Structure 1
Amino acid sequence: MTLLLTRLRATLLFYRSVAPFMAGISGLLLLAVLVPALLEGFTHDLIFRLLLAKLATAPVVWYLAEQLRPGQYWLYFNLNISRRQLWTGVVALDAGLFLGSALLVRAVLS
């Protein structure tokens, strides 16, 4: 239980450092694609297509995070958490937040 809690806290801490990139891409997808499509009446599988587009941007964010802060992983390595585990948690958390935001936008505009 302690190991799971430590990994969850480390994932949240790491997400905080990459959240500006992730939230910026989410905002662009929601405001520039989803809102106009919903106003035009196109709703068939749009949210899940946008979720796939959002997941496709994860390698770009990973690369930008590596370039801007190359020594950011020392704390997580000391906690015995690999980069893959960190990024898996961050992508899952961000996908969940994006899906929730998209469903909220759809509910507001419907």
Structure 2
Amino acid sequence: MTIARTTRLILTFYSGFAIASGGITVAAGGLFAAYGLSMIAALFWLKVITNAVLWYFINQVKRKEYYYYHNLGLSKKVLWGSALTIDFSLFFLTLIALYHCL
């Protein structure tokens, strides 16, 4: 499997919950802009907890979609590891950008 195809499949999987996760990132960015560095630990744990809730929800609702990805050579661990890496990278890049702008 090529890197482009794997990346496309991972992004397709991530797009299933990117809006919800992006909304949490935007809300966290707003709180960070309002309260500054004093909120960083609380925002991190907010992101972790909401990702755990999203993980549970996605596993319940889209259980059969894992067969599709498995047949294409991607395991649950690869899907979730990659999606969470993308998600937390966007989260931290947002906070870093806000920190440098404020």
The answer to whether residue 76 in structure 2 is matched with residue 67 in structure 1 is no
Listed as ranges, the gaps of 5+ residues in structure 1 are none
The Cα shift of 1:68 comes to 3.0
The Cα shift of 1:52 comes to 4.8
Q: What's the TM-score once normalised by structure 2's chain length?
A: 0.80
Q: 1:100 aligns with which of 93, 96, 100?
A: 93
What is the SS of the residue equivalent to 1:73? Answer: helix
CA distance in 2, matches of 1:55, 1:26: 11
In structure 1, the residue matched to 2:17 is 18
In structure 2, the residue matched to 1:87 is 80
Q: What's the TM-score once normalised by structure 1's chain length?
A: 0.75
CA distance in 2, matches of 1:89, 1:52: 19
Q: Which has the larger radius of gyration?
A: 1
Aligned CA RMSD, in angstroms, stands at 2.1
Runs of 4+ in 1 over 6 A off after TM superposition: none
CA distance in 1, matches of 2:25, 2:66: 24
Q: Which amino acid aligns with 2:72?
A: L
How high is the sequence identity, in percent, across the aligned residues?
Answer: 28
| 1:3-60 CA-partner distances (Å, limit 9, x unpaired) | x3332221111111110221122122222x212212xxxx26x54x333542343221
The Cα shift of 1:107 comes to 2.1
The Cα shift of 1:99 comes to 0.9
Listed as ranges, the gaps of 5+ residues in structure 2 are none
